[in-house]
Structure 1
């Protein structure tokens, strides 16, 4: 449908003059592929700079529309005197058309005056491998967790966060946020019901760091085995509670290392049948070591909050080591601190204000970094960026996303221990427990088991 022609306003003329009058060249069109627009005419950047200099807000690109801009931005073919589509892939490369299509690729048209505004994305500053990926398509602001406030996100369209950022009504109410990506496995820091009710898409990165967490578990278990004054009689029985992305690798590696593995996952057993699974009571009754890999839930048929509490520990006669690399509150930290057995812990209640008594007694104590491998972080960032692409129609090129690996074809304890020594991280945390967040945020990402 043809739009009524109108005269360009004074702002358009001033912008035109800044760019050498090139914007009026709709009669001698050159056609370029739409993905080459930015590179094809650097004067687009001049035009955007002129828009900035004309008094518009520094955080939004706004260009008043005349016929050429409006037609290009809205992709209206056959507009009188304006640009035309060419095979649905090419557009007129005059400066105004180029600017409009370029801005169209970056943002969205809003309001009755057909302004073009850039998508605004807030990124938690400690997410690795992301800087530079989104800047060609959006205005990106990197903030520390403590600076991601309701005021900061009010004008944001998307948030990319980690577990430290609580996304609920207190943060999001009154904002224009429509997408939240968390570069983590879990989502218990996000109020999913609130987001669902308000049409906010939430995306996480399931399985992205599963091999790294399995590496931490078996390295910590290896440290424990190496310092035991009295060895376990017979094959060690390893109870794995939660057999999802992480737990399934932990269990498989355990079998390859010669342990007797008990798999406990009530939701999976209910859905798939009980074969291959045991109950939590059987785990308590038979296990020498129990490791937890569940989400944190407080309601429903199988709540996991304080699943490992004083009663659990009292009902486990053979239990000698408890490991938690899931969520801090899956284990009652006070109960663990008062228990006579050994503890290997990466996820704590009330982080970063962790229980100092539990820290002192723990054999392995790390600052929530079990999943901090370079491969895992690459995968997590790639997964949320790809979801952001789908949501906004971006074409960001994330780091090469590898499928979550299940590890080497045949792991050995020697290879695991050579790949990672958790006692080094334990020594750092015990020396500076008040630096929990600094140690976590500045962690030197490690390679996975090769």
Structure 2
């Protein structure tokens, strides 16, 4: 008998991947909530739940004790997202149900969001990233990619990741700053002195190194108007009420405000809307929402299913993604060839414009502000977000070796050097 799989229909390419493994039925976001399942219109789905052996979800489905009780034959639960806050881990363990989260599936997408934000701020405020010291808070799947990308842009990168530091202490020369293979680990007090701070730590309440409200009122009070704070990690790592108080006090005292970018917020989707007007860039938790990131999440679940049930993998992710029709305008291509050393403000502006062809972060900011100014539509904005592509969808022709290395370092494909 084929494996019985229940999957979220919002996962791209679910047919191509999951039908290779078993019999698949799908559901839409919200349909597995207790309220919806109790409706007469859900009778057919409710009747199928006892047959389900594998449940494949996204973050919109709460996998809790109430839902698990309806699936007595459930063996495996997986989410096509990096986070798994929507899983009741204790209930899964109690039911002896294996689980999996697609950690890192959209890491490249989030890293490129941060690159676009950093370049936009650098161009607007006329500074060079290569002159800045950037602190990465959390050096995991996303943080390591952000570190690599900003290192490729010439920034001095430092790392704050106490658990990773503990593991690395006996094997790495920890003080070699700027080396991708030997991260420069620093204390939190050093993080607060950095020019740019990027948050990518997981949310935890570990007694030794808790990340919840790591940036509380005290930490925020030590930051100045010349610094930049970017959070595309977990909303709760910044105390949003403390941040709002910081901004309000800065306005009253006529101080230059800290430059803040928020893609993630506390208490989503009911966020602190009063913060929006104080931010440099704001968006609705969409940093990881690329076609490549979402498709990779589906593919990683397919890999897990094949491994679990000893099934040969026949489908490749690369065969699924469509080509992107975006091409570099002639004037930008000419500029790219002229800026052989790729140094200075004009070259940085050119790079921002090239990234803009793939992802216009300013447009996301404008849309977010326009909608949130009228009513709190955070969840709707996120659910209806038009999926974008990643830098790899735009192939570039570059003559200069140094320039091509830098562009590859942030995720572009250089079509004329044999590297993909």
Instruction: Compute the TM-score of the two structures, normalised by the length of structure 2.
Output: 0.70
What's the offset of the Cα at 1:320?
2.2
Q: Which residue of 2 aligns with 1:85?
A: none
Query: Structure 2 vs 1, CA of residues 432 and 143 (structure 1 numbering), >3 Å: closer, same or farther?
Result: farther
What CA RMSD, in Å, does the superposition of the two structures yield over aligned residues? 2.7
Q: Tell me the residue number matched to 2:181.
A: none
Structure 2 runs not aligned, ≥5 long: 38-45, 176-183, 248-256, 320-341, 392-411, 413-420
Name which of 233, 236, 248 aligns with 1:329: 236
1:262 is aligned to 158
1:157 Cα deviation (Å)?
A: 2.1
Residues 383 and 401, structure 1, Cα contact 8 Å, conserved in 2 = no
Could you tell me how far apart the structure 1 residues matched to 2:129 and 2:59 are? 40
Q: How far apart are residue 209 of structure 1 and its match? A: 1.4
Q: Distance in 1 between matches of 2:197 and 2:280?
A: 15
Query: Which runs of structure 2 are paired with 1:317-356 in the superposition (5 Å)?
Result: 317=224, 320-338=227-245, 339=247, 340-356=257-273
- For residue 220 of structure 2, the aligned residue among 293, 313, 323 is 313
Determine which structure has more spread, i.e. the larger CA radius of gyration. 1
Structure 1 match to 2:52: 156
3-state SS of paired residue (2:117) = helix
| CA separation of 1:129 and 1:267: change in aligned 2, threshold 3 A | same
1:218-241 superposed Cα distances (whole Å, 9 cap, x missing partner): 10111222222x758992221110
- How has the CA–CA distance of structure 1 residues 318 and 429 changed in structure 2, closer, same or farther, with 3 Å as cutoff? closer
1:145 equivalent to 2:29? Answer: yes
8 Å Cα contact 2:133/2:157 also seen in 1: yes
Structure 1's unaligned 5+ residue stretches are: 1-103, 108-118, 403-409
Residues 296 and 330 in structure 1, CA contact (< 8 A), matched pair in contact too: yes
Tell me which of 223, 235, 238 is aligned to 2:131: 235
Paired residues of 2:223 and 2:258 also in contact (CA < 8 A): no
Q: Which residue does the alignment assign to 1:446? A: 388
* Paired residues of 1:287 and 1:319 also in contact (CA < 8 A): no
Q: CA deviation at 1:271?
A: 0.6
1:175 is aligned, of 48, 71, 79, to 71
Q: Which residue of structure 1 aligns with residue 145 of structure 2?
A: 249
TM-score (norm 1): 0.66
* Distance of 1:171 and 1:333 partners within structure 2: 32
Alignment of 1:125-144 (within 5 A): 125-131=9-15, 133-135=17-19, 138-144=22-28
1:145 is paired with a residue of what secondary structure?
Answer: coil
**Residues 400 and 188 of structure 1: is their aligned pair in 2 closer, same or farther, counting only changes over 3 Å?**
same
**Whole-angstrom CA distance in 2 between matches of 1:360 and 1:440:** 19
1:251 Cα deviation after fit: 1.0
- How many Å apart are 1:292 and its aligned residue? 0.6
1:181 aligns to what SS in structure 2? Answer: strand
- Could you list the per-position Cα deviations for residues 92-150 of structure 1 after superposition, in whole angstroms to 9, with x for gaps in the alignment? xxxxxxxxxxxx3x14xxxxxxxxxxx1x332232222135434654433323322135
Q: Please say if residues 130 and 155 of structure 2, whose CA atoms lie closer than 8 Å, have aligned partners that are also in contact.
A: no
- Correspondence list, 1:154-303, <5 A: 155-173=51-69, 175-176=71-72, 177-228=74-125, 231=127, 235-273=131-169, 274-275=174-175, 276-284=184-192, 286-303=193-210
Q: Does 1:436 align with 2:378?
A: yes
